[in-house]
Structure 1
Amino acid sequence: MRMFLHIKHWQVFTLTFVVPALLFLVEISLASHSYSHYSNSLQAVNENLGVKLLTLLLHTACYAMVTVWYWVVGCNLHAISPKKTRPSISRFKLCIMLSLAVAIAADAAPLLGLHNVKGYAAFITLVTGIYAYIYCTLFIQKLVRAIESNDTPEEDDKAIFFILWLIFPLGIWFIQPRINSIFKRQKCA
């Protein structure tokens, strides 16, 4: 899994965005051809259990790719970060698993007949997933800045770096080269 630390930005983009997009197109295409008696392909996806299971499996695989990238980068950056600025890794691991669980639960809810869940349960689940994702983003951002500056992160470009993480598929074009350079320096040292 350490390969994620050395692959290029376009490879990460392909694994975490292009492959899932292609899988989604294949999924819709198969549904529309297999179930042409439905009025549209999305209706076929919604009314067929096999297609729903396939959809859940493909989406879970896509979520897992992104989660594995976050996990590998976060854990390895934590291992080489300065000890005086190193945050707790246990909360990061919990939040990354929580964000994956919320994403899978959101996809599985219609399959389980929970698509009409409203009120506090849906709101709390959504807020929990967003919090977990933002925490993971801030955790890795703090580690990258601490390693690059050999101290606590400076305030100059924190907001820009955070926004790049939040718009993950586009931000990866700027973030992965920084991660590559960090681990290249570590390998040489």
Structure 2
Amino acid sequence: MTDIFLKAKHWQLFSMLIGLPILGYIIMFALFFDYATTTNDLDATTLKSFAIIIPCVALIVMYVLFGWFWSIAIGLQTKVPNTVKMKVKKFKVFFFIPFIYILSLLVFMALFGLSDFEAEPDLNSAFPFGLLTIMLPLHFLSIFGIFYSLYFVAKTYKTVELQREVSFSDFAGEFFMIWFYFIGVWIIQPKINEMVEDTPMEAQYV
């Protein structure tokens, strides 16, 4: 899987991360608008279909984005200098925490979409409060895991590029480009292609 992401072109990743979701949502809202204007009513079956589309599209984006992160962080380890020690095990732990958390949320949303929309929720139940108590710390832990993953991915990328130990000041730009991946993928992915192909790279050694 890592080779697929490392060798993918920037426009291919952008199409999967941004283009496909936009297209999916445009189609969904077009159908939603057409159905609402022609029937003036939305039945439970229609609402269920729309509620399932959203997590499915989000699942595709999550798979591609996390797959890209994993491929850079793990796939480029063979090109990290022997003198540099990367905390790969720590990365794997913090990588899978948000991955499993977000995946669980999307599955929950899909199951909710299949549930009975006409059923009234039990507001007196203690289940929502208990669920919130569990999810809140997991949510913050997942946020930390995402930022640590961004940190490790950017550090791995810059270590391979410069072939030396790096500090955050060396890869701060890459950190934000990976964070705002819809922009960064156009800049970072071509260089990753060069790293994989072992072609000369224009790197500034600071």
- Range into which the TM-score falls when normalised by the shorter chain: 0.7 to 0.9
Provide the rounded CA distance (Å) in 2 between the counterparts of 1:110 and 1:57.
9
The match for 1:82 is 81
Deviation at 1:119, TM superposition (A): 5.6
Deviation at 1:176, TM superposition (A): 0.9
The match for 1:170 is 183
Q: Deviations over 1:43-72 (max 9, x none)?
A: 889x82233223222221221121222222
Deviation at 1:155, TM superposition (A): 5.2
Does the 8 Å CA contact 2:98/2:145 hold for their aligned counterparts? yes
Does the 8 Å CA contact 2:52/2:109 hold for their aligned counterparts? no
Higher Cα radius of gyration: 2
What SS does the corresponding residue of 1:83 show, helix, strand or coil? coil
Provide the rounded CA distance (Å) in 2 between the counterparts of 1:19 and 1:74.
25
Q: Deviations over 1:69-120 (max 9, x none)?
A: 2222221112321233232323323333322222234445555669x66865
The match for 1:128 is 141
Q: Percent identity among equivalent residues? A: 18
Cα RMSD, aligned residues only: 3.1
> Could you state the TM-score of these two structures normalised by the residue count of structure 1?
0.78
The match for 1:20 is 21
1:161 and 2:174 are equivalent in the alignment:
yes
Provide the rounded CA distance (Å) in 2 between the counterparts of 1:50 and 1:10.
30
Gaps of 5+ in 2: 113-120, 122-127, 201-206
Deviation at 1:134, TM superposition (A): 1.0
Q: What amino acid maps onto 2:5 in structure 1?
A: F
Q: What amino acid maps onto 2:198 in structure 1?
A: R
> Could you state the TM-score of these two structures normalised by the residue count of structure 2?
0.72
Provide the rounded CA distance (Å) in 2 between the counterparts of 1:22 and 1:65.
16
Q: What amino acid maps onto 1:164 in structure 2?
A: M
Q: Which moved more, 1:84-93 or 1:63-72?
A: 84-93
Say if 1:184 and 1:111 are closer, same or farther in 2 by CA, change over 3 A: closer
What SS does the corresponding residue of 2:76 show, helix, strand or coil? helix
Matches within 5 A, 1:23-172: 23-34=24-35, 36=37, 37=39, 48-109=47-108, 120-154=133-167, 156-172=169-185
Q: Which moved more, 1:122-131 or 1:59-68?
A: 122-131
